[in-house]
Structure 1
Amino acid sequence: MNDREGVVLRRAVDADAAAAADVWLRSFAAALPTVVRPRSDDEVRQYFREVLVPLRETWVAEAAGAVVGVMVLQGELLAQLYLDPDRRGRGIGDRFVALAKERGPQGLTLWTFQVNKPAHRFYERHGFVAVEFTDGSGNEEREPDVRYEWRP
């Protein structure tokens, strides 16, 4: 899947794990500066290398040979969607959501932190509806979150 900026969406391969983890780390730091991460950078990289890329349906956005976005699907769960901060607002996230809907035509669910208002606007624009708010006791970060659903 290619676009006019030369961004290709494709399944991740083992060699993408480090770059995908780095996108996640940069994106998390930029979008969620108040959220305390329970895992070190090295642990995040190990998780991408040992779990997400080899064992989950992981997709990357690639531009000019560099990974600029990552999306992870687990059945109906849109588990991860992170973009390099310099690539936000260019339609890559829209393309990832369209792909997720193609891959999960019966519906999708996802979690995002309550403090991440830009993510709320993004997902709501794509037809997701907030269905549950928590105090964060169920996530590693202990950060209040919200579960969104999309149904066709």
Structure 2
Amino acid sequence: MRIRAATPKDARATGAILTEFVETTPWMPRLHSADEDRGFCATMIERGWVRVIEDGGVVGFIARNEAEVNALYVARTFRGRGAGAALLRDAQAARDELSLWTFQDNLGARRFYAAHGFHEVARTDGQQTDEKLPDVQLEWRRL
């Protein structure tokens, strides 16, 4: 697997990975179309926030604005195979601290981040999010 900066051509693949997550996650509401997901990814790529991981094509991506991780998604068939961990390690190597929000119901993500040194710093009832789902803020600091 290889990690690199995303290019505009990666918007289709990253958008498809995001769409796949929403469509295969029972508790996640579908608020945006696949085209909107692709556009959202294209915007993050244009801002220079996105790095992708490839294995015969794009299989995952992380979007980071400075220390804030805005997204980390891996294609379903590549989950549990180290792609997400590699992307997160890549982000951790670039910063002394990171923060992110994830949904409280995303237990797999919460376990994943805890295993990579993140700890909970805040919770909300989710009323400020588009999805209206309770969320949790996590932080990591280099020791």
TM-score with structure 2 setting the length: 0.94
Q: Secondary structure at the match of 2:26?
A: coil
Tell me, which stretches of 5 or more residues in structure 2 are unaligned? Answer: none
Q: Is the Cα–Cα contact under 8 Å of residues 12 and 60 in structure 1 kept in the other structure?
A: yes
**Does residue 54 of structure 2 align to residue 62 of structure 1?**
yes
Aligned pairs (5 A) from 1:43-54: 43-49=36-42, 51-54=43-46
CA root-mean-square deviation: 1.1
TM-score with structure 1 setting the length: 0.89
Q: Is the Cα–Cα contact under 8 Å of residues 22 and 29 in structure 2 kept in the other structure?
A: no
- Distance of aligned partners of 1:87 and 1:101 in 2 relative to their CA distance in 1, 3 Å threshold: same
Q: Is the Cα–Cα contact under 8 Å of residues 24 and 70 in structure 1 kept in the other structure?
A: no
Q: Is the Cα–Cα contact under 8 Å of residues 15 and 37 in structure 2 kept in the other structure?
A: yes
**Does residue 118 of structure 2 align to residue 118 of structure 1?**
no
Structure 1 outlier segments of 4+, above 6 Å: none
The offset of 1:78, in angstroms, is 0.9
Q: Percent identity?
A: 35
Q: Secondary structure at the match of 1:109?
A: strand
Q: Secondary structure at the match of 2:84?
A: helix
